[in-house]
Amino acid sequence: MNLEELLKLLTDLEKSTLERTFWRILDYLLEWVPQILMAIAIAVVAFLVARMLRRFVRRQMARTAASPAIIALLSNLLYSAILLGGLFFILGLFGLDKTVTSLLAGAGIVGLALGFALKDLAAGYISGVLLAIIRPFEINDVIEVSGHMGVVTGIGMWKTVIENFDGQSIMIPNNQVFSGALVNYSRNGKRRIEVRVGVAYDTDLRRAERVAREALEQIESRLTDEPVEVFFTNFGASSIDCVTRVWIPYPEGGLYFAVQHEVVVRIKAAFDAADITIPFPIRTIVMDDNSRDSAGSQS
């Protein structure tokens, strides 16, 4: 056999091998044509249904004035869940569902380890979702949480941002906001201002009460549908103690500290005009005869 005949034999062998391979692939494809067509149909239906339901959920939740962040989160979760369901159905057609389940089990172990490592971040994210649903406060509300008080300037999925009255921006993780004690000063639209003052023991208390009440009733920024309160509460060391209370619209009305300042100024001016004394701390020392003799001998 010469070289030319050898090359011809190899060419014929290659052609026959390629032909057999082609027909095998074609037979395989023809065997799986129904599954392939079904998989394409399932993918199209899953995509259309997921897209339609995502739009529906967004429209319905937008009517409830829900947070845009929670609307996007829930609608995208539903969209992804439907697509994943369609994917698992398609894999089941080709007998790959068990393989994928095994892979997901392994991924679950890895995810569990990551969950322990990122538990604080995950807790903050879940708390953000719950805060968006419950909505205990809104933007521009005045709140106090974790020892910080200020105006809410941002509500995120992981953190809440407030600006305190010193102009500082404070970021608080949502898990602390959700699990801790939260005070919302804007929820009821009003806030009480309480100022304590003392009067001398020889003061006519009924007259002092009337003078203080008339002075506080002149504050323009107070809530007129809430009464001014003046109570004598205690016999102090050098004075009879009094508590005065007024209500203001909050936070839309006058600033809390400005009104508190006005309360103090008006009470002081009214007491001065009525000749009512706000005493300094006084200590009275009583000495018996033995004490006087002892003091005299020492001098």
CATH number for position 171:
2.30.30.60
105, 178: one domain: no
Asked if 152 and 200 sit in the same domain, the reply is no
pTM of the full structure: 0.55
Write the single-letter amino acid at 194: E
| Model confidence at 110: pLDDT above 60 | no
Domains: count for the chain: 3
Please give the structure tokens belonging to residue 276: 């009512």
Number of H helices, E strands in the chain: 8, 8
**What CA–CA distances, in Å, run from 128 to 47, 116, 122, 145?**
29, 19, 10, 15
Q: Are residues 74 and 110 in the same domain?
A: yes
Choice between 118 and 204, residue whose per-residue pLDDT is larger: 204
Calpha distance 182→162 (Å, rounded): 13
Q: What is the pLDDT of residue 210?
A: 95
User: What is the average per-residue pLDDT within 72-95?
Assistant: 80
Which of 5-14, 141-150, 251-260 is predicted with the least confidence, judged by mean pLDDT?
A: 5-14
Scanning the structure block, which residue is given the tokens 């091998």?
17
pLDDT of residue 15: 56
Could you tell me if 198 and 240 lie in one domain? Answer: yes
Together in a domain, 197 and 264: yes
Full residue range of the structural domain in which residue 145 is found? 136-184
Distance separating alpha carbons of residues 91 and 104, to the nearest angstrom: 13
On whether both 101 and 43 belong to a single domain, the answer is yes
